[in-house]
Structure 1
């Protein structure tokens, strides 16, 4: 499948596998720690999506290099998610904001990987993954707008009891 099995491509694929695995585990861990059912469902959906991405990249790696790569075997801290701790009563908007940030980082990673790709096949794979991550980020930003975008209009005269 891959004609040029460069060290750069191997490192990109290994990093992608590790980060997709971490993302999946992160979303599941967050889901287990919060009570908001809508947020829990959203995090499960994201974990499932990250699992899909991990399987795609793992399959490509195995086909390209003829061996498996265990994401647990590395201690790489490259491209770590920079996220805050949510409390167990986190609102859906907090979770969606976190997802948007993480997915945007994933998009940037795959966009950069596509830029460094040596073959059209590599470029297409990374662009496809970048597109999927961008879609998740955009979807989350749209959700944020919907969750935070409620505006209320009133005049001072309408406020009861002159608060």
Structure 2
């Protein structure tokens, strides 16, 4: 029980720090880490010929522009959740849930569109390879985010146990 309380206290501190950080700083840090190094990872993984690489780069650059906009929307939702966590109402919870659903659907639409464009540029196997890698990377990022934010009501329960 003491370990759980300590973990919840640490979650409160880290969540409070996250909530106080600015949206722009979070996006800048995440995109700088995720940007060029991700591009290098994708190019290495794809292992395309020079001709294929040129065709793929055009599709990939457009994809990254749209993905970054979706990433910004996702982090706006996270910051909105952090800002409103302590005073969450039914209306705000509904707004946040609907925003999350829309963001997830927008990612799926982007994957589908990009798969079609990549398939035309470099073939179905390479397109599937790219989408598989991208979904994996986004899943890892999503898991890290989910691990770092508390469930609704979780922090309230920690106050009772102290």
TM-score (ref. length: structure 1):
0.39
More helix by share: 2
